[in-house]
Structure 1
Amino acid sequence: MEKPPGVASASSFLTNIPLLDLPQKEIVNFAKKIFNGSSRDLLFRVETDLSECQLLWEEFSPNESLFDLWDFRLAFWRGYQYHPYFITLSFQEKVISILPLWFDKEDNQYTWFGGSWPDENTFFTKSAKTIPLLLKLIPGKTRLFCIRSQEGITDQGSFLEADEEKYILDLKNFSSLDDFWGTLKKKKRYNLKRDWKRIQALKPEIIVNDFSHLENLFKLNIDRFEEMVLDDNKSTFLSKEKQQTFKEIINLAKDYQVRMVSTKIDGKVVAVDLVALYHQTYYCLAGGCDVENYSGLGSFANLQLIKDAIELENVDLIDFLQGDVNWKASWRLGTRPLFKFAKD
């Protein structure tokens, strides 16, 4: 496996690390201001061993979200096999901050460990003031997306920009799908009910947790976006690496649960969604449906997910992930801000 730039000096003291291009005065001032100590007490290290990266991740991750879990991120590593690149900052031999990255050899850039797909990425740190310096240590083109709000960083960091919001649905006051209908504007409610009734008239069969339908999900998703002109708008599952990743998300489910909701019409699988459950949150990870032959099926499939989540015990929130994709805002979903960082 080819190593990314900077890996040759995986463990060195500050003055010997070639990936750093910072004036000594800046380092000295940083040590005094942040730690009230000497720059000799600072150690910057790049960890590339997967097992060591796991130990660092598990020490620092808040485990608040599905995307904080090591096993969920490991699924992406198993799919892509990109080289981990964890930049660590230690003071007096204690690790203070980590940038958990990998080197994306396809796009020739550094990004989060797990790539650009996972939402809610977090800076792992015991001192928020160290993050701007750590970002300077990345030795090449960098794209860090979907950074979630983090006190002392996202509210202070002029080095970050706003990213696309993520969309959520709070279920705490919902007992049935009727409660969701009541949140919608009149016209939208009419249109969605029409789609719901149209598919219901076809007597669909709803199947839960037949994971053999994952291949149907891939095919339905690929077919749906096949006619898109721009590659960025085509299905993410054209990539064999992404398909393998989602197989591993199912295989590695232990600290989180996976759930699959499928719709059959006339014995044919026409819609499939993969969901994960963690900490009372229902994560809508991926789906595919045959909207070409079944008008309204896309709305029906999303409504079926809302219905499924409401009927489950201990689910308070649906996470519809980042980006509006031409429907989420009109469904009057809540939003959470996300941020991004870019370096060329």
Structure 2
Amino acid sequence: MALPVSTQLKYWGFASVFFFLLLWFLGDVILPFVLGGAIAYFLDPVADRLEKMGFSRAISVTIITLIALMIFVVMALLVIPTLVEQTANLINIAPQLFNDLQAFLTDRFPQLVDDTSTLRQSLISVGETIQERGGQLIETVLSSVSSLINVVVLLVIVPVVAFYLLYDWDRMVAEIDRLLPRDHAPVIRQLAGEIDNTLAAFIRGMGTVCLVLGTYYAVALMLVGLQFGLVVGAFAGLITFIPYIGALLGGALAIGLALFQFWGDWVSIGLVAGIFMIGQVLEGNVLTPKLVGSSVGLHPVWLIFALSVFGALFGFVGMLVAVPVAAAIGVLARFATGQYLGSKLYRGLEPEDPEPEQDAE
């Protein structure tokens, strides 16, 4: 005999509370394992494809690991040093850029010289905020760099965790399936399949879109000659998973930097703007339809809300698990809505309408 619904809800409630408490207390401790699990989930279809080609699971995982290692070495030697250098230069030059902006606006809008001008007061307020927050940002970066051992440990543990999880992925899924409650196993499998489809479309599809667009933006901006093109391109590609935000913020930052660097050279400024316009066309008409599909199931507003809440509560780890949890909650909400629409609570107990009587002739 199955357990009463109230008892089952109690057990699942305890499990949910335990999950959130685990995120709350462990935090950064489980970061390598969350990253490793995300990488394994991302690469599992590749391993399955190699297995269908005739390779064993061990050989498939080894091939993937060797290719990933080669990519990491190339990135570490060529891309990462340049990215770090440009980021540091951008942080250092930010106050000068603001001063140049103030001088530029003052030359073209003389009313800014007036101390009582609202716009001038706003600029002064923004400048003070940048100076205050900029110092805090630099201190945070320096404190993070000082804990180099944590970064090294992260770089060592994450690949190891990803390797073993990827190797045992199918076995773990089968074991979890074996432990499902027998009465609810079909429904859980159905919901898990919908959650997997949503995550596959979003994480794997949008992850590939972010990678392609980030590479395109970075290479194109560097070819144009933008001073911080690699940083801007990487930033725009990284936040592309939020629709329109990546192109808007990245485009605004790139065009702003281009105005300072290429003022008077309108061709170069137009090229920078055109790069983001072409990127938007590629994303909307080619990349997203091909790699993500038309039905992702994660509304942008819901996604931003989940990222904000989980980031505020659990930090960086919370932001990593926000997308899977948001996808799961979305699927469960749609399932609950379907159950409600088919229940007596929604339909009521009204008797069927009587057949209309025919008028006597």
TM-score higher than 0.5 here?
A: no
The structure whose Rg is larger is 2
Higher strand share: 1
TM-score (norm 2): 0.23
